[in-house]
Chain A
Amino acid sequence: MNTLERHRKLSAIWASERGLKGWFSTVNHTDLGRMFLVTAFFFFLVGGILAMLIRAQLATPHSAFAGPDIYNQIFTMHGTIMMFLFAIPTFEGLAVYLLPKLLGTRDLAFPRLTAYGYWCYVFGGTMLLVSMLFGIAPDGGWFMYPPLTGAIHSPGINTDFWLIGITFVEISAIAAAVEITVSILKFRAPGMSLDKMPIFAWYALVTALMILTGFPPLILGSVLLELERAFGLPFFQADLGGDSLLWQHLFWLFGHPEVYIIFLPAAGIISTILPVMCRTSLLGYGWIVAATLGLAFLSFGLWVHHMFTTGIPHMGLAFFSAASTLVAVPTSVQIFAWIGTIWKGRPELHLPMLHILGFFLTFVIGGLTGVMVAVVPFDWQAHDTAFITAHLHYVLFGGFVFPVFAGIYYWLPHFTGRKRFFRLGEVAFALIFIGFHITFLAMHWVGLLGQRRRISTYQPEDGWTMINLISSIGGFILAIGIAIVLVEIILHAMTANRGKRNPWKAGTLEWAMVTPPPAYNFASLPHVTSREPLADDPGLPARLARGDGYLADPPTEGSRRETLTVDISTGRPDYHVAYPGNSRLPIILAAVTGLFFLSLLLKTYWVTPLAVTGVAILGWLWVWSRGHKKDMPPQPIGRGIKLANSSTVDRSPGWWGSAFLLTADATFFGSLLFGFAFLWTVAPGWPPPALFEPSALEFATGLAGMGISAISIRRAIGANRVGDKPGAWLVMALAGTGLVAVICITLMLRAPAPPGHAYGATLLVLGGYGLFHAALATMMILFLMARVRGKFAMTACRAEFSVVKLWVDYAAVTGVLILMAAHLPGALG
């Protein structure tokens, strides 16, 4: 088979459908990555226009441009869009597009999940846009502090749009994070051990793990606040045993890691691009990996530094002040490693390098002001002033927007296969750089002069007029710069100015393909022996295209999309993977998920169970279609190696995906228990008037159910493995999860007066959580029973059994904790 034939065959297998309908059924990471990036850039422009409105409003005192009601919506939506609809999706888009190419493979771990995440993002984002068009957008500030956002003080639908829309969008973040984690750990080219991974993959891995542990607290907070607004469960009302500070803890437990979730991918871009711009290799790869991990962990110990003025005792503040200063150290390791990299090489001032230099100045200033506000007494003055607004823009614009622009200009030739024709980018950079610093340097100053953030107007006597005017002028210069970037990208995509391959002479694998990239990425997968395979072997792209690597021969029959996985640490080939093809299931599932959220938003609760049923049915079909009626023998991957197929192993991609999804789930559950303990110790109005009546019978029945389900699923797996019928054991497991469900229902029914006190409300949520997981486990066991009855080849293709075991175990373990949380306080006194 020659190169062209191979290209045609692989293209036929991997390509999305032609024309417009291909957009709705594609599961290809290259297409979806581009779609993510374009959509995120659209939201960046929307958020930018809102920013211009803010600056127009504040340019003069007594501004009559917008009244407070509209102005509050504008700044709330500016923050919300930039954080949730621009920054995070940009990371997702870039990672989705780049990772398989950098890792030397053909797609991400779960192609349909990528598509599902994208459509959740689009639908959720649309909900928020619609609210803005109708003038009923959220208006409580992007961190949505109750009681202001509670039903008493914000009775309108505005706040619900935020709580429900953002939770919907976060599904896409969680989906992408699971996807990215499993892909980086398992879906790499053979030979790529951990130390040979391109540095961007390390950053993306750490970021994805942070999303899995950082987003759940916010999702929990949103769920609780929406429950309070819709059903009167008083989690945040001080007079009914709730506490508004609980929201602040949950929000910032998410909100601070969020800053690093935004910064780390950008740092990954710099670590990738900077050495290429300096014609050298990255200084201190291992140090940077360790610094990134350290940064990720420390960022979870900073959340209270957003709460220095809430009256927490000084020792509590001091812990977080100390951790907040310490977090500057791993950041500084990275900054100096980059400067050392410039010294090591011969820097060339290409356009991406200009943006990197812009990053250095801006981000270092942002970091230094960050250390200042980490010092508690200074924060008591600076908190909630324009100084903070300025600081966070230095961090986020410096630490994210400049690096992303560097990345866009660096990978633009890869996205399109073209080269820039008009040199508008340099002008744009100058305007952005100058405009940004004028806008936000001025804001530090006016903040110290006492200007609070979020005010809609001020008096001439305040003495801020001139500074605000200067700041607004800077803002408009910045906006013109960004408009020029947009024009240049459009011109770039329209002019057919073919570029050459690998224009930057980079060493990473994404350049070992023709550009724009083919749907299958690599005609055959490389064997990786170093961090920069292309630098070692410039002939690699041609050899891969000729079929000189793994999986070079497309399947002779059918149109199976194939790749392989590797062992996590060593990079030895592990098993063979066959992907699903194009499908409309993701967009349909996202639409039905959207229906669920919409029914909650519009309070048409009779639709909610229908939507949940719809999601369950589609989820069932999603997995059902992956079954095998025949045994899957080991598959050849070339070079004389045969690998087991992923459906026949215990630790399949589905198992890994479940494990990481459960990590997020466990964080959610942990946050809920934290909330329970927090209310109990800190909130006014505790202990509650009546404790839950403990019942030895219910407690024992619940434990028995959990034990039976966990043991039976193991017996079922054992029976299946040796070829016996697992049916009887599955029925037993079903009985076990059924018992757990019943006990959770009784817990919910017996929770004392949920609308009357946060105690009962929390028990209701704990019971609901247990019920949901018991129901999920029940459905999975039923699924296995259906597989067995349908005479699928389950003995050989046993992967689904281990996945179900994981979920059954999780339901059992959390069930025990829920029972203890409910029954023990009453039993102990």
Chain B
Amino acid sequence: MKDLLRILIAPLIWFVAFSSIYGLHGLICGHGLQAIQIGSLSLPRPLLVAAYLLAIGVQMVVLGALYSAQFRSRSGFVRFVSRATGWTGLVATIWSLLPAATTSYCV
């Protein structure tokens, strides 16, 4: 059971992060939060970028844990697969949420 968790954790976190940031964007546009300004920046961009960086950070911690002596699996096969899915989670987070930092919001 713990081995299954090791394999599934990183993609699960990706899915949670992906849905949350998509939801955050929906919330910002749905409630007119894009109009709020902090200094010269409008509120949504820093908020979205912060969430994006947080998601990447969490994935890096998970990946680190999968390599650490403390948390890694005893089975060589599970070690390999969990690290591969760990990398998948990290890359998927960086890749699929990149628009949070780059494209325009609410249009």
The residue in B1, B12, B100 that gathers the most chain A C-beta atoms within 10 A of its C-beta is B1
A interface size (C-beta, 8 A): 33
Instruction: Give Cα A403–Cα B3 distance, bound, in whole angstroms.
Output: 31
| Residues B99 and A319 in contact, CB atoms below 8 Å apart | yes
* B54 part of interface (Cβ distance < 8 Å): no
Interface residues of B in 58-72 (CB under 8 A from A): none
Instruction: Give Cα A119–Cα B12 distance, bound, in whole angstroms.
Output: 34
B1-22: CB near A (< 8 Å → 1, else 0) gives 1011001100110110011011
A280-307: CB near B (< 8 Å → 1, else 0) gives 0000001101100110111011001000
Indicate whether A681 sits within 8 Å of B15 (C-beta atoms), given known contacts A293-B81, A294-B85, A569-B75: no
A302 to nearest B CB, angstroms?
10
Instruction: Give Cα A613–Cα B22 distance, bound, in whole angstroms.
Output: 43
* A788 part of interface (Cβ distance < 8 Å): no
Main secondary structure of the interface of A (DSSP, over half): helix
| Residues A194 and B78 in contact, CB atoms below 8 Å apart | yes
A241 to nearest B CB, angstroms?
14
| Residues B88 and A294 in contact, CB atoms below 8 Å apart | yes
Instruction: Give Cα A569–Cα B104 distance, bound, in whole angstroms.
Output: 46
A761-804: CB near B (< 8 Å → 1, else 0) gives 00000000000000000000000000000000000000000000
Interface residues of A in 392-441 (CB under 8 A from B): none
Contact of A286 among B21, B80, B97, B98 (CB under 8 A): B80
| Residues A322 and B95 in contact, CB atoms below 8 Å apart | yes
> Which chain A residue has the least Cβ–Cβ distance from B83?
A290
* B36 part of interface (Cβ distance < 8 Å): no
Instruction: Give Cα A301–Cα B17 distance, bound, in whole angstroms.
Output: 11
| Residues B96 and A315 in contact, CB atoms below 8 Å apart | no
* A517 part of interface (Cβ distance < 8 Å): no
Contact of B88 among A290, A314, A323, A569 (CB under 8 A): A290
Q: Which residues of B contact A300 (CB under 8 A)?
A: 15
Indicate whether A326 sits within 8 Å of B96 (C-beta atoms), given known contacts A286-B80, A297-B15: yes
Main secondary structure of the interface of B (DSSP, over half): helix
Q: Which residues of B contact A319 (CB under 8 A)?
A: 18, 21-22, 25, 96-97, 99-100
| Residues A297 and B78 in contact, CB atoms below 8 Å apart | no
Instruction: Give Cα A536–Cα B42 distance, bound, in whole angstroms.
Output: 66
Instruction: Give Cα A678–Cα B29 distance, bound, in whole angstroms.
Output: 12
B28 to nearest A CB, angstroms?
9
Interface residues of A in 524-581 (CB under 8 A from B): 568-570
Interface residues of A in 671-687 (CB under 8 A from B): 677-678, 681-682
Q: Which residues of A contact B85 (CB under 8 A)?
A: 290, 293-294
Q: Which residues of A contact B103 (CB under 8 A)?
A: 314-315, 318
Contact of B75 among A194, A301, A323 (CB under 8 A): A194
Indicate whether A297 sits within 8 Å of B12 (C-beta atoms), given known contacts A289-B81, A313-B107, A316-B22: yes
> Which chain B residue has the least Cβ–Cβ distance from A567?
B1
* A330 part of interface (Cβ distance < 8 Å): yes
Indicate whether A290 sits within 8 Å of B107 (C-beta atoms), given known contacts A193-B75, A326-B92: no
A609 to nearest B CB, angstroms?
38
| Residues B96 and A682 in contact, CB atoms below 8 Å apart | no
| Residues B88 and A316 in contact, CB atoms below 8 Å apart | no
Instruction: Give Cα A315–Cα B47 distance, bound, in whole angstroms.
Output: 14
B72 to nearest A CB, angstroms?
13
* A195 part of interface (Cβ distance < 8 Å): yes
Indicate whether A290 sits within 8 Å of B84 (C-beta atoms), given known contacts A301-B96, A318-B103, A319-B22: yes
Q: Which residues of A contact B81 (CB under 8 A)?
A: 286, 289-290, 293
Q: Which residues of A contact B3 (CB under 8 A)?
A: 194, 568-569
Q: Which residues of A contact B104 (CB under 8 A)?
A: 314-315
Interface residues of A in 319-350 (CB under 8 A from B): 319, 321-323, 326, 330
| Residues B95 and A682 in contact, CB atoms below 8 Å apart | no
B59 to nearest A CB, angstroms?
13
| Residues A681 and B27 in contact, CB atoms below 8 Å apart | yes
| Residues B80 and A294 in contact, CB atoms below 8 Å apart | no
B6 to nearest A CB, angstroms?
10
Instruction: Give Cα A431–Cα B86 distance, bound, in whole angstroms.
Output: 44
| Residues B25 and A315 in contact, CB atoms below 8 Å apart | yes
| Residues A301 and B25 in contact, CB atoms below 8 Å apart | no
Extra A-B contacts (18), CB below 8 Å, given A194-B75, A287-B84, A301-B92: A194-B78, A293-B11, A293-B88, A297-B14, A297-B88, A298-B11, A301-B18, A314-B107, A315-B100, A315-B103, A322-B97, A322-B99, A323-B18, A323-B95, A326-B91, A568-B1, A569-B73, A681-B27
List 8 tightest A-B contacts by C-beta distance, closest first. Answer: A195-B77, A318-B99, A290-B84, A297-B11, A681-B30, A323-B96, A294-B88, A569-B3
Question: What are 13 sample pairs from A and B whose C-beta atoms fall under 8 A apart?
Answer: A194-B78, A195-B77, A195-B78, A286-B80, A290-B81, A301-B15, A314-B105, A315-B103, A315-B104, A316-B25, A568-B1, A677-B23, A682-B26
Residues of chain B touching chain A, judged by Cβ–Cβ distance below 8 Å, are 1, 3-4, 7-8, 11-12, 14-15, 18-19, 21-23, 25-27, 29-31, 73, 75-78, 80-81, 84-85, 88, 91-92, 95-100, 102-107
